[in-house]
Structure 1
C-alpha cells in the first residue's frame, strides 16, 4: 500500500526475518459456547453467571472484572499490543485455532517500528513453536498461565478463575474476532469518505477538499510507482505487495435537518461502503453521524466538528481533536476558579440551539464545582432581537458569558448595545469578528477561550507540511483546517502502513491511538495524543485576550487548562 517505502527500506537495511510457526490443530470438542457472553467476558470481565470474574496478576495481586478484562491488553481487534514494555500477542481465532502460521508481516511494526525495552525484543523475536489451542489448552492458559506448548506466561498475564462455560463462551467469541476483512477494501482499492454538513462554510469545505485531493493524488502516484516492479528487490518489497491499495475519496455531502442525516448516510454507504471517514466539516452536533459510525463500526477520524458526540466516547468509532465548545466552557469556568477573579454579577446568555445550550450547561456545572456558591443568571435567546433584549435587560452585569450560534451576528449586537460589563467572554470562533468590529474599550474588556496552540510555538512538522503543500501548489487559505485535515490523513496513512494487509477497522484504530502522539503534530494544538479507547486527542484550552495589533489577533494570558 502507499506510503510504505520506509518500511521496506528499513527491512532491507536490517536484513532481519522472523518466522513464528504455529502447529495446526483444530479446536477440541467442548461445550457449545455463547459468543455474545464471550464478548461480554472479553470486554467487561463478566462471567457466564453474570458476576465479575476474579484472578491474580504478578503472582499475588488480586483483580476483578473489568480491571483486567481481555480488551485492556489484547485490544478490541485481538491483535495485541505492548503493555508496560511487555509484548502482548494476538489472540484472534485464526491465530489460536486455524491451520495458519503467524506471518512475519503481521508483527512487522513490533519488530522494526517500536521503541521498546530489551525484554520486549527478546519476547517478540522468540520463534517458539506451539500447538494450536483447543478449549482444554485455552482453559489451562487462562487459569494456570501455561501456553499450548507448556511454556509459562509472563507474570503480568492474569490467572483467572473461570468456569467451563466461561472458557467455551470466550472461545466462541475469539473464533470470529477479526476474522473477515472489513468493508471498503478490494484487491486494488481502499475507499474513504469525508462528511460535509449542510451548514459548512463553502470556503472552508473547499480548502479541506483541495487538501484531501492533493494528498490522495500523491499517495496514489507513490503506490503506482512502488507496484510497477514489485519484484525489483524481492527480499523486501514482494513481501508487502499485497498490502498496496489505491485510495479513493467519496464526498458525502449532507442536506437538510440532522434528523434526516442517518438515512442519507445509510444510502451513501449502501452505494459504496468505505473503510473509514477522514476529516470532514460539520457545524453543530455530531450526534447523528456519531451513531451511524458506531453502528457501522466505521472509523470517523478527526472531523472538524464544533459539537462532538457528548461524553467520553470510550472506544467509540468517532475520534476528535477535542470536545469542542463544551471544552471551552469548562476551561473558562476553571480559569475563573483558579484566578479567583472578582466576577461580581455573572450573566450567561446563550443561543437556544445546541451551540448555546451545551456550553452553557457545561459552564454552569463546572463553575458550581470550582466556585461553589457563585450565582449565575442564565438567559436563553432565539435570534438577534432576543440577544439584544437580553443584553439590554442585563446591562448592569459585571461579567457576561456569551455562547452564540452565529458568532458574527452576536458581535454585531454587542457593538450595537455596547454593554458596560467589566468582563465579556466569547468562544474561540468569535476572534476575527470581534477584532474587526469591537471598539478599543470593548476589546480591552473581552476574553476568548482558545483551544489551539499559542502563537510562536515550534512544531518542526508544521514547516515540513507547509513545504509539502507549497511544492504541490496547494493554496493554504485556511491553515488550521488544512493542517488538521493533513493530520487526519497521515494518521490513516501510518495506521495502514503498520497494519500491512490486515484491513481491520478496530486494528487500524488501535494503531491510530498509538501513533497520535508520535511526531505527527501539525502545530494546531500544543499536544495531541490518544490512550487506549480515548477519542479526544487534545485535552485543554488557553484563555486569551483580543489583540488586533498582533498578526494572529490574540495573545494567550493563561496556562494550558485541562478540565
Structure 2
C-alpha cells in the first residue's frame, strides 16, 4: 500500500499540484517560518490571525464576495498578469486596469497598501510586517493555486462518480444508479441558451455559463470488503480521474471511502454513510447530522429528566415522572430505542419532537408569560396541541422557560420535494422504493448544479467546496429535511436544532 501512495504523491507533484512549504503556512495561517504570527494592521489597528490571507481570499486563492464586497483572486495566474486580460472571468470585469504584480510590487502592496499601479488599495486590505524573503515564499505558494483545472474536466465534459456499496441489494443499486443517470440526462438536455444569445447578438455573444460541461456519470461499484475500499477506489481514480464524487451510497463503514477522498483531495459530496471522524475537509455527509441532533436530544432528555413535558393523545400537557424515565439513565441509549420506550410511556401518538410551525410559534407569543430563568423545561409534543392547557400549566408551575425542538429528520406528510421525486421517478420509468435516499440524491444533484455554475470557468475543487459552504445556508432545500445549514469546514450537513423560547435564555 505504501508504494502505491508514494507513486500517487509523485504523480501529483509531477503534474503541478500544490506542495507544502513556508509560503503555504504564511497564506493559510499567517505564520512565519518560526511559527510566529505575522503582524497585520488595518487603519493602524493591530489585528490577529484572522487576517491570514486564506480567511478572505479563501484556500483556493480564487476569492469570494460578501455583503457587496468582492475579494479578488490572488492565484499567481491572476496577480502575475495585466488586467483586464479578457472577459473570461467575472472577477476581471470588476477590476480596474492594473499592471501585473512581481515580487517587489506585491511586497509593497502587503507592507504599504499601494498596488501595482501606484494607487492605494481597498482600505479593507490589511498591511503586514513581512520580509521580502517571506514575500518570495508566499509568491511561490501562490503559483501553485489554480494553475490549471483539476483532473476530471475536459473542454466539453466533466466526470462525476458515484460509489456503490457491494453489500446493498440489487434493487437498491439499480434504483440509485437509474435515478442518478436520469438526473444527469435531464441536466445534459439543458443548453447554455445559444439560440437566445444569437437572437440578441452581438450584445450577448459571450457565454454566461462558462462552466457548462456535459455531465458524465462514472459508476464505481465496489467489490471487496470495506478494509480494501480505499485501495480499490484509488486504483479506479487513477484509471479514470473524476472531478467530484456525488452521493456515494454506503450502508455503513464510510471511513474507508472518506479516507480515499481526503488522501486524493477529491470532494465527496453528501454521502449517505456515517462513521467519519471530525476534521475531514473533502467529505460532506448527511447521516452524521441526523445523529448529532439525536445525540443532542438524548443528552438533553437525560439531563432534564425530572422536568420533561409531553402532550398526551388528547392534547393535554403532562409531566413525566422519574420512575417513568429509567431508560434515560443509560449513557448510550439509541434514539430509536429511546423513542420506542418513550412512546410506551406516553402513548403511540406522542412524539419526542415536532415540526417547525409558524402558527404554533405565534400562539406561544400570545401567551406573554413571564419567564423563570431557574426552570428549564424541554417540551415533548405530539400533533395535538392545546394552547389553553399550556397557559394553565404556566399559571400553576411558576411560568417555566418554554423551549421547543424541531426535527428535520422526520419526513413531512406532504413534502413538495418528495412530490418532485415522485414525478421524476415516473419520468425516468422507475419505482420509488426509498424516498429518503432519492431525496438526498436530488438535493446533492441540485446543489452541485448550482455550485458548478458559480465556478465561472475555474474548475478548482477547493473553490467548489468554498462555494458549497457559502451556499448551504441559503440554497433551496430539496431534501426531506426541513432545513439544512453548514459553516466553513463544517462537513456534517446539520439542520439547526431549532428552539423557541419566548424570552430570556434561549438555550436548552
Given the two structures, how large is their TM-score scaled by the length of structure 1? 0.65
* Structure 2 CA distance for partners of 1:37 and 1:535, relative to 1, 3 Å: same
CA distance in structure 2 between the aligned counterparts of 1:327 and 1:37, rounded to whole angstroms: 37
Listed one character per residue, the Cα deviations across residues 526-553 of structure 1 (whole Å, up to 9, x for unaligned) are 322223332222245699xxxxxxxxxx
Matched, 1:339 2:324: no
Q: Label 1:271 to 1:398 Cα distance change in 2 as closer, same or farther (>3 A).
A: closer
Is 1:79 aligned to 2:44, yes or no? no
1:513 maps to which residue?
469
1:320 corresponds to 2:285:
yes
- Contact kept, 8 Å, 1:452 with 1:525, in 2: the verdict is yes
Q: State whether residues 164 and 249 of structure 2, in contact with CA within 8 Å, keep that contact through their aligned partners in structure 1.
A: yes
1:302-327 CA-to-partner distances (Å, cap 9, x unmatched) read 011132x21143xx011123525751
The question of whether the paired residues in 1 share the 8 Å contact of 2:98 and 2:116 is answered with yes
**1:98 corresponds to:** 81
In 1, Cα distance between the equivalents of 2:413 and 2:41? 46
Give the direction of change, closer, same or farther, for the CA distance of 1:326–1:466 in structure 2 (3 Å limit): closer
Counting only pairs closer than 5 Å after superposition, residues 389-428 of structure 1 correspond to structure 2 as 398-399=327-328, 426-427=334-335
SS in 2 for 1:284: coil
Structure 1 residue 47 corresponds to structure 2 residue 32: yes
Q: Which residue of 1 aligns with 2:254?
A: 286
**Equivalence map 1:376-525=2 (5 Å):** 398-399=327-328, 426-427=334-335, 452-454=408-410, 456=412, 463-464=419-420, 466-525=422-481
Q: How does 1:249-398 map to 2 (within 5 A)?
A: 249-307=217-275, 309-313=276-280, 316-321=281-286, 323-324=288-289, 326-328=291-293, 330-336=295-301, 339-341=304-306, 398=327
In the alignment, which residue of structure 2 is the partner of 1:538?
A: 494
Q: 1:145–1:152: 8 Å Cα contact kept in structure 2? A: yes
Are residue 197 (structure 1) and residue 135 (structure 2) matched?
Answer: no
1:9 equivalent in structure 2:
none
Which of 63, 86, 89 lines up with 2:72 in the alignment? 89
Map 1:10-89 to 2 at 5 A.
36-57=21-42, 59-65=43-49, 67-89=50-72
Shift in Å, 1:401: 5.1
Give the match's secondary structure for 1:87: strand
Between the aligned partners of 1:441 and 1:429, the Cα distance in structure 2 is: 13
| Distance of aligned partners of 1:177 and 1:261 in 2 relative to their CA distance in 1, 3 Å threshold | same
Query: Could you say if the C-alpha distance between residues 458 and 237 of structure 1 is closer, same or farther in structure 2, counting changes exceeding 3 Å?
Result: farther
Distance 1:529 1:102, change over 3 A: farther
Distance 1:305 1:227 in 2: 40
In the alignment, is the contact (CA less than 8 A) between 1:95 and 1:102 conserved in 2?
no
Equivalent of residue 139 in structure 2, options 166, 171, 174: 171
Q: Distance in 1 between matches of 2:338 and 2:176?
A: 21
Secondary structure of the structure 2 residue equivalent to 1:273: coil
Distance 1:242 1:497, change over 3 A: closer
Q: C-alpha distance in 2, partners of 1:337/1:146?
A: 59
Q: Cα offset for 1:499?
A: 1.3
1:359-411 deviation line (CA, Å, top 9, x unaligned)? xxxxxxxxxxxxxxxxxxxxxxxxxxxxxxxxxxxxx96547597xxxxxxxx
What's the counterpart of residue 239 of structure 1? 207
Residue in 2 aligned with 1:558? none
Tell me the distance in 1 between the aligned counterparts of 2:164 and 2:45.
50
Question: Could you tell me which residue of structure 2 aligns to residue 410 of structure 1?
Answer: none
CA offset at residue 264 of structure 1? 0.5
SS of 1:499's partner is: coil
Change (3 A) 1:442 1:456: closer
Contact 1:35 1:170 in 2 (8 A): no
C-alpha contact 1:146 1:153 (8 A) present in aligned 2: yes
Residues of 1 paired with 2:285 and 2:233: CA distance? Answer: 19
C-alpha distance after superposition, 1:18-48 (max 9, x if no partner): xxxxxxxxxxxxxxxx971111111111113
TM-superposed CA distance for 1:102, in Å, is: 4.6
Question: Using the alignment, how far apart are the partners of 2:157 and 2:29 within structure 1?
Answer: 36
User: How far, CA to CA, are the matches of 1:55 and 1:441 in structure 2?
Assistant: 60
Aligned residue number for residue 117 of structure 1 = none
Question: For the aligned residues, what is the CA RMSD?
Answer: 3.7
Task: Please give the secondary structure, in 2, of the residue aligned with 1:283.
Answer: coil
Q: Which runs of 5 or more residues in structure 2 are unaligned? A: 1-18, 309-324, 354-405, 500-505
1:185-224 alignment to 2 at 5 Å? 185-223=153-191
1:128–1:342 distance in 2 versus 1, CA, 3 Å = closer
Q: How far apart are residue 269 of structure 1 and its match?
A: 0.6
